Each structure stands twice: as C-alpha cells, then as structure tokens.
C-alpha cells in the first residue's frame, strides 16, 4: 500500500511539474506574440525610398486600343476598360490592362527575363504579395526589376533589393491609386498565368 501511495504521489508531482512547464511555455508564447504584433507598423507616408519616380496628374480614363505611355513599363494613365487579373505571369501582359490593375491599388512587378531567371525568378515570385499584385516579364527594362504602383515607380538593382518591400509597404493597396480596393480578379488573364 505504501508503494502504491508513493507511486501515486510521484505521478501527481510529475503531472504538476509537466503542467507547470507547459503553462509557462504557453504564457511565454502569448507574450512573444503580443509583443511582436504590438509593434506599430510604420506609416506608409513615413517610408522613404531612394530612387522612386512620381508621376503626378495621371489621367485615369478608359480607352480602346493601345496607349503610348511615357514610362516603360507604365505607372498609370489611360487604360483598357477591363483590368488584368492579378497574379503571376510567365509571358508579357498587355500594358493597358495592367495599368487598370494599378488603378485598383495593385503593384506591378516587372522583370527583364534576360537578367532574371531560375532561382532569382523563384525568389521574386515568393517576394510579391499574394493578392493585388501582378508579376510579369518585360523585355528591355533599364534594370533587372521595376516595381510600379499608380503614379509611382522604382528601378531595382535585383530581386533582393530591399527597396521592393519598402515600395510594397508604401504603395500596395494605397498610395495614389484612384480605385483602391476595386476587384483584382474577374477581369482578363494575360498569357502564361500560373498563379
């Protein structure tokens, strides 16, 4: 009987110790999550990005046919009446439809396929937001990667340029887009849409 009583006491003690350790672990996890999520996000207006070009006073009208844009790739202006569905494309997309997606608050990440491929392209695909973004090749870019939002654009030195995330934080679903939050699906797909 003494042995049974001692074994029960030992099991209770072990149970209490394990439960206490688990409770401390859960409490530590909660504290870490609160501290991490409690860190205030930097205001988009406060983000400064070297090399950003701003194109004020762009007209947001719908037109038929092609548009002769001042920027390459375009960062806004007149555009097709149907937007490009946001996503990842392996082929160039129509400028006029992509600009309409910019009007809705999307970012358009273009890359020169002669300079970006393989692992770098996979890294670029992983870096763009899963919604309200277009990623597509754009031959003849002046830099390996160019990211655009309505009326704003920056040429990046490569796929690992930290300014890309700053640009996304500042302009994705924000910035100067005339129709922030309008649909980024239900339009048309360009060639080679994979996601």
**In the prediction, which pLDDT does 5 show?**
80
Cite the DSSP H helix spans in 41-191. 95-103, 118-127, 163-171
Q: What is the largest CA-CA distance in the chain?
A: 94
**In the prediction, which pLDDT does 36 show?**
67
**In the prediction, which pLDDT does 163 show?**
97
**In the prediction, which pLDDT does 41 show?**
63
14-23, 31-40, 88-97, 101-110: range with lowest mean pLDDT: 31-40
At 31, the pLDDT band (50, 70, 90 cuts) reads: confident
Global pTM exceeds 0.85: no
Report the SS3 class of residue 160: coil
């Amino acid at each position: 009987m003494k042995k049974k009583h001692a074994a029960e006491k030992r099991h209770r003690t072990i149970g209490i110790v394990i439960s206490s350790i688990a409770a401390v672990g859960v409490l530590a996890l909660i504290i870490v999550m609160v501290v991490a999520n409690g860190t205030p996000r930097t205001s988009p207006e406060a983000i400064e990005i070297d090399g950003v070009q701003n194109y004020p006073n762009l007209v947001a009208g719908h037109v038929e046919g092609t548009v002769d844009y001042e920027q390459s790739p375009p960062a806004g202006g007149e555009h097709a009446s149907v937007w490009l569905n946001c996503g990842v494309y392996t082929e160039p997309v129509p400028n006029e439809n992509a600009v309409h997606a910019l009007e809705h608050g999307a970012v358009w990440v273009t890359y020169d396929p002669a300079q970006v491929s393989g692992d770098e392209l996979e890294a670029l695909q992983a870096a763009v937001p899963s919604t309200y973004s277009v990623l597509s090749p754009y031959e003849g870019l002046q830099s390996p990667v160019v990211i655009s939002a309505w009326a704003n654009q920056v040429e990046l030195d490569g796929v690992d340029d930290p300014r890309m995330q700053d640009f996304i934080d500042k302009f994705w679903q924000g910035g100067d887009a005339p129709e922030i939050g309008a649909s980024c699906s239900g339009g048309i797909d360009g060639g080679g849409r994979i996601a």
